[in-house]
Amino acid sequence: MPLSNICASSLDSYDILVKKYKNAISNLENLDKLGACLLHDVDATKMKHHTDLANRKFDRIIFNFPHAGFHGKEDNPHMIRMHRNLVQGFFRSARGMLRANSEIHVNHKTNTPFSLWNLKKLASGCSPALIQRVDFNVEDYPGYHNKRGDGSRCDEPFPLGKSCIFKFGFCPRAKKASKATKRWGSMCNKSQHFQTVPMPMQLHSTSDFNYHRRNHTVNRIPLHVKLHPIIPN
Ligand SMILES: C[S@@+](CC[C@H](N)C(=O)[O-])C[C@H]1O[C@@H](n2cnc3c(N)ncnc32)[C@H](O)[C@@H]1O
Report yes or no: 170 and 95 within 8 Å, Cβ to Cβ. Answer: yes
Per the CB < 8 A criterion, the answer to whether 64 and 165 are in contact is: no
What tens-digit pLDDT sequence spans the chain (233 residues)? Answer: 788 899 999 999 999 999 999 999 999 999 999 999 999 999 999 999 999 999 999 999 999 999 999 999 999 999 999 999 999 999 999 999 999 999 999 999 999 999 999 999 998 777 789 999 999 999 999 999 999 999 999 999 999 999 999 999 986 554 444 454 445 444 434 333 333 344 545 564 443 333 333 333 232 232 223 333 333 33
Residue 206 to residues 32, 50, 118, 127, 219, Cα–Cα distance (Å): 17, 18, 30, 23, 22
Burial class (CB in 10 A: 0-12, 13-18, 19+), 205: buried
Contact indicator for 9, 47 with CB cutoff of 8 Å: yes
Distance of alpha carbon 148 from alpha carbon 126, whole angstroms: 27
pLDDT attached to residue 46:
97
Decide whether any atom of ligand 1 lies within 6 Å of the 80 Cβ: no
Letter for the amino acid at 76? N
Q: How far apart are CA 86 and CA 66, in angstroms?
A: 8
Residue 96, CA distances (Å) to 22, 33, 221 in order: 34, 29, 31
- The pLDDT value given to residue 228: 33
Cβ(50)–Cβ(192) below 8 Å: no
Nearest CA to ligand 1 atom 5: 200
Q: In whole angstroms, what is the distance from residue 86 CA to residue 38 CA?
A: 21
pLDDT at 125: 75
Please tell me the predicted confidence (pLDDT) of residue 195.
37
The domains located in the chain, with CATH, are 6-232 (3.40.50)
- Which amino acid residue places its CA nearest to atom 24 of ligand 1? 149
Specify the pLDDT at position 124: 77
Question: Which of the listed residues 23, 45, 65, 226 should we mutate to test ligand 1's pocket, taking the one with most ligand atoms within 8 A of CB?
Answer: 65
Structural contact between residues 11 and 43, judged by C-beta atoms closer than 8 angstroms: yes
Q: What is the pLDDT of residue 112?
A: 97
Q: Are 199 and 36 in contact (CB under 8 A)?
A: no
Whole-number Å distance, alpha carbon 88 to ligand 1 midpoint, is: 14
Residue 12 Cα: closest atom of ligand 1 = 25
Of the candidates 224, 82, 107, the residue with the CA atom closest to the CA atom of residue 158:
107
